[in-house]
Structure 1
C-alpha cells in the first residue's frame, strides 16, 4: 500500500486561511461576537493585578477597610464578568467550528458523489474517509482552540507588557530577562511538534486506508491464508502511528517543565530585586503592592506564551487539513459535467460512432466502436474477459467519458443529457450486487422521495420477487445488513432487478446478471428479464450464450474491437469468433 505523504508547508498559509474563512460568512454575526469577546478577555485579565496593587498600597497600607471591601466587590464582579465572557467565548467558538465543519463536510461529500468512477479507481477509499472525517474534524480546533484562542493570548501579552512598562520599566526589564530562553525553547518545541503532528496525520490516513481495504477484502485474505502476513503489515503501520504519537508526547513532556523552570527563574529574579526595593521604598519607588502585581503579571505573561506554542501547531494542523480538503474540492478533473437536456420521453435509440476509450491514456480498451441499436431492440455483447463489454456499459451511463467519438441517445449527444434524468432512464443490473446496510425499501429507492411503496411492489411483481419479500420479517422494511449478507445471492440479484425497474427505464442493461445464481433462480430471473425487456431497448452482457440466442443482434467483441455482428444462427454459419465461443460452451448447454 502506498503511504500518504503530506508536507505541512508554511505554518500559516494565509491563502488557505482566507478561503477557510469564507465558510464563516453565513455565521458572521456570531463570529464578530467571538472576536469582541476575545478582545474583552484580553483586556480584562491584566486589570486584576492593577486593582490588587492599588488595594495593597492604598487601602491596606492606610487601614481603609471600606475601600478594601469595595475593591473585593469590584474584583469579584470582574471575575464573574470574565467567567461569563470566557464561557460565551468557549461555547461560541466551538459552536462556530461545528457549524463550519458541518458545511465543509457536506460540501466535500457533495463533491465526492459527483466525481467520475475514474477518480475512485486511482484513490484509496480509506484516504477519502480520512479527508471526510478526520481532516474535517481537525478544522473544529482551528476555531475552538486555534485562531481565536491564539488571538486572545497575543492580546493578553500585548496588554500585560504595556501595563508592566507603564507601571515600572525596571521591574519589567528584569521580569522579561528570561524571555530569550523562553522564545528559543518555544521555537524548538514548535518545530519538533509540527513534524510529529504531521507524521501523526499521515499515519492516521495510512491506517484508515489499510483497515478499510482489508476489512472489505477480508474474504481474499482468508481464502489465501494471508492473515499472518496482513497482520504483520498492520502492526508495522500501527507501530508508525504509535511512534509518531509518542514523539509528540515526548516533546510536550520536555517543553512544559522547561517553560515552568524559565518562568520560575523570572519570578525568582523579580522577588530578589523587588524585595530589596521594598525595603528601600523611598529610594526605589517599589512597594509591596507593585511587587505582588508584577509577580501576577509575569505568571500571566508566560502562560499565553506556553499556550501559543501548542495552539500554533493546532492551527497549523488545521491549515494542513484545510489545504488537503481544498485541494480535493479544487480538483475538477474528474467532476462529471452535467447537461441540461431533459426530454419528456426517451425512445431508447442508442448509437456509438467511432468510440475510442482508455482507462489509462493511450491504453485503449475500445477502438473505433460503431454500433447502432434501434428502439426496442435487444442487443447482446459477447466476448472474452477484457474484450470491452462492460466498458461500453460504463460509457453509456457516463461513469467514464469517452476519449474520442460520440455516443447518442435518440440522436442527442449523451453529454447533453441531465445526468439524473439519463440514469433514471437506463436501468442497470450488475453482476456484483451491492446492497447497503438498510431496509429493502431504502436499498431500492436509495432515499428518493419519488419512489413510493406502490412503485416498488409493482416492480417486484414484474420481476417475480413479491413472494420472497413477503416471506421476510417486515417485508420491505427488512434490514438486509451490510452488502446484503442476510440474503442469498439470488435474492440480492432480484432486489437489484427491482431497483433497476422501479423508474420504468426505457433502456435496460444486464451485465452478467445471471452468472452468479443457481439454475432455478436463473430460470426465474430469465422469465423476469423477458417481461422486463418487452417494449424496451435492452443491452445484455452474458458469458452463457444460451441466454442470448434470441437477441435481435449479437455483437462479438475482441480486444476492444467489434469482430462480428448478427443473429445467433447467422454467426454460427460464419464459423468465426462467435462459433468458437459457442463450441467452447456447447457441451454445457447441449
Structure 2
C-alpha cells in the first residue's frame, strides 16, 4: 500500500450509515440515568416557560377587565416562579450535560488510543502520524457540542414541540394549522441540502487532516529544515495546505448558514400570515377570537418555531459530525492484523531457542522480502545478521518479535509456534532495541525503567554501568533525574542509543534483539562497550543486526542475507575461509578500520 502523504486526501473506506449513530449511542447508553434527569429538568423548564403566554392571556382577557388586582398579583408571582424554575433547571442541565459529554469523549478517545496500540506497524508505515493524531484529538473534540448540547436539545425540543402544539390546539385549532403551513417547505429544503452538506464536511475533514500532517512533519524535521534553509519554501507549502483547509471550511459553513435564514424567513412568513388572519378575524368578528387569545398565540408561535429551528441546527450538527464519526469509526474498525488467536496460550518461561521453517514474508503483495528462510538457533547462541540495506535483516528480527505475521512457513520459540501464544507473554521475555531509538519525555531513569516498571534504582544504575552509559549520565545536571525532551532532543544520538540499550537489557530477557545497536556510537565508545556486551549477552539468545566488525566477529554464527535469503552461514573464521560475500565485507571494513586507526 502506497504511503498516504500530507498533500493527498484520505479516501474513506466505509461510508457513513445508520450503524455509526447506533454505535455512538452505545457510548451514550451508560449515561442514560444522567440523560433522563436532564430530560426531566428540560421538560419542567419547558412547561414552566409555556405557562407564561397562558397566564398573560388570563390577565388580558379576565383579570384586567374585571379589575382583579389580587388575581394579577398571583399571575405575576406565577410568572416569576415559572422563570425562576426554568433558570434553575437550565443551570443544572448545563452542568450535568457538560460532565456527561466529557465522559463520553474520554471513553471514545481512550478506545481509539487503545486500538492504535494494537495496530500493526504497517498501519503507521502507510500514513503520516499527523493524520492519526488528529483523529484521537480534534475529531473526537468536534463531537463535544453534539454530545453536550445537540442530543439533549433535540430530545427536549421534541418534548417542547409536543407541549407547544398541545397548548396551541387547546387555544385555537385554526390558528394552529395556519402556523404550521411553512413546515413542509422547511422539511423539503433540509433534505435537498443534506447531500451537499455531507460532501463539504468530508472535504473539510480531509483538508484539516492534511494540514495537521504537514505541521507534524515540519516540527519533527525542524532541524533539517533550518540546516538547509528551507523555511521559506516550507512556509509556501504550509500556506497551500492552510488555504485549502480555509477554502473547504468556508464552503461548508456557507451551506450551513444557509439553513438559518431559510428557517427564519419561513418562520417570519408564517407569523405574518398568522397576524393577518388573526387581525382579520378580530375586525370582521366572523370568528370569535379574543385579544388575549391572539396575544397568547403569537407568543406560542414564536416558541413553536424556536424548537423547529433548533432541530434544523441539530440536523446541521449531525451532518458535520458525520464527517468526523466516519473517520473515528474507520480507525476503530481498522483490522488488528497481529493479534492473539482465540485459543492462544501464555508461553512459559523460555530458554531462547528459535527456529525458522521455510518462512516467507512480504510487506506488499507480489513483493516478497523473505524467501524460504530456514535456520535453528540454540538457546544462548549469538547470531549476527549481516547484508546490504534492504536485504531482510530487520524483517527477520521483526518476525521473531511477531511485529508482523508471516505469510508462509512457521516460527518456533522453544518449540512453541509463536502464532499460537499470546503476544504479551512472548514479547515480555524479549529485549528489543530497534534501529530507530526512541526516548520518551521524562527523566533518564524513567526511560531506562520503561521496559521493567518494577526495577529498583540500583538495578537501573547497574544496567547503565554495564552499557557504559553511567558516566555521561552522572555528568548531566541532575544525573538520572535529568529531564529529557520528547525523542531525547537534549541527548546526542549515541547517548540516546546507550540509554535505549540499557532499557532493553534491564528486563533481563531470554532473547535479546539488537538492530544496529551501535550504529551511532563512535569507535572508541564501541570498543569500551564490547566488554559490557560480552557479559550481558552471555547465557542469552541474541540476534544482532550490525555492520561493524567488532559487533559481528564474536558471534557464534553469522548469517549473510541477500535478497531475502541466507546465502552464507557460519562462524567468522569459517566464512573468511569460504572467501565469499562475507569475506568481501570483512576485508572492506578491515581496511577502513585500519585507516581510521592510522589517522
TM over 0.5: yes
Structure 2 equivalent of residue 418 of structure 1: 422
Residues 6 and 202, structure 1, Cα contact 8 Å, conserved in 2: no
Deviation at 1:140, TM superposition (A): 2.6
1:383-407 deviations in Å (ceiling 9; x for gaps): 1111111111111111111111111
Residues 354 and 378, structure 2, Cα contact 8 Å, conserved in 1: yes
Structure 2 equivalent of residue 3 of structure 1: 9
Structure 2 equivalent of residue 77 of structure 1: 81
Distance 2:483 2:545 in 1: 30
The answer on 1:322 being equivalent to 2:325 is yes
1:405-430 deviations in Å (ceiling 9; x for gaps): 11111121223333233223221223
Residues 277 and 287, structure 1, Cα contact 8 Å, conserved in 2: no
Residue of 486, 490, 493 corresponding to 1:482: 486
Structure 2 equivalent of residue 556 of structure 1: 560
Distance 2:421 2:183 in 1: 67
Equivalent residue runs for 1:406-555 within 5 Å: 406-446=410-450, 449-555=453-559
Structure 1 equivalent of residue 597 of structure 2: none
Name the TM-score, length of structure 1 as normaliser: 0.92
Structure 1 equivalent of residue 170 of structure 2: 166
Greater alpha carbon shift after TM alignment, 455-464 vs 285-294: 455-464
Equivalent residue runs for 1:176-195 within 5 Å: 176-184=180-188, 186-187=190-191, 192-195=196-199
Q: List gaps (5 residues or longer) in structure 1.
A: none
Name the TM-score, length of structure 2 as normaliser: 0.91
Residue of 231, 236, 252 corresponding to 2:240: 236
Residues 116 and 336, structure 1, Cα contact 8 Å, conserved in 2: no
Residue of 303, 308, 312 corresponding to 1:305: 308
Residues 374 and 537, structure 1, Cα contact 8 Å, conserved in 2: yes
Equivalent residue runs for 1:113-152 within 5 Å: 113-152=117-156
Residue of 337, 342, 356 corresponding to 2:340: 337
Deviation at 1:183, TM superposition (A): 4.3
Distance 2:288 2:576 in 1: 114
Distance 1:196 1:363 in 2: 38
Deviation at 1:376, TM superposition (A): 1.6
- Secondary structure at the aligned position of 2:289 is classed as coil
Change (3 A) 1:463 1:333: closer
Distance 2:319 2:13 in 1: 11
Residue of 197, 201, 207 corresponding to 2:201: 197
Residues 45 and 87, structure 2, Cα contact 8 Å, conserved in 1: no
Deviation at 1:36, TM superposition (A): 2.9
Residues 43 and 155, structure 1, Cα contact 8 Å, conserved in 2: no
Change (3 A) 1:298 1:230: same
Structure 2 equivalent of residue 265 of structure 1: 269
Q: List gaps (5 residues or longer) in structure 2.
A: 595-599
Change (3 A) 1:293 1:189: farther
Residues 8 and 320, structure 1, Cα contact 8 Å, conserved in 2: no
Greater alpha carbon shift after TM alignment, 161-170 vs 249-258: 249-258
Deviation at 1:258, TM superposition (A): 4.6
Residues 342 and 421, structure 1, Cα contact 8 Å, conserved in 2: yes
1:302-329 deviations in Å (ceiling 9; x for gaps): 2222222221121233344334323322
Deviation at 1:470, TM superposition (A): 2.1
1:80-112 deviations in Å (ceiling 9; x for gaps): 222222222232222212111111111211111
- Secondary structure at the aligned position of 1:415 is classed as coil
Residue of 348, 351, 361 corresponding to 1:347: 351
- Secondary structure at the aligned position of 2:242 is classed as helix
Change (3 A) 1:253 1:119: closer
Change (3 A) 1:188 1:298: farther
Change (3 A) 1:501 1:562: same
- Secondary structure at the aligned position of 2:143 is classed as helix
Residues 15 and 326, structure 2, Cα contact 8 Å, conserved in 1: no
1:522-569 deviations in Å (ceiling 9; x for gaps): 222223212211222221111123431121111111111011111112
Distance 1:312 1:137 in 2: 18
Change (3 A) 1:313 1:261: closer
Change (3 A) 1:541 1:190: closer
Structure 2 equivalent of residue 290 of structure 1: 293
Distance 1:335 1:310 in 2: 43
Residues 194 and 313, structure 1, Cα contact 8 Å, conserved in 2: no
Deviation at 1:238, TM superposition (A): 1.0
Distance 1:159 1:67 in 2: 25
Distance 1:471 1:379 in 2: 35
Distance 1:567 1:5 in 2: 51
Q: CA RMSD in A?
A: 2.5
The answer on 1:364 being equivalent to 2:387 is no
Change (3 A) 1:452 1:52: farther
Structure 2 equivalent of residue 34 of structure 1: 38
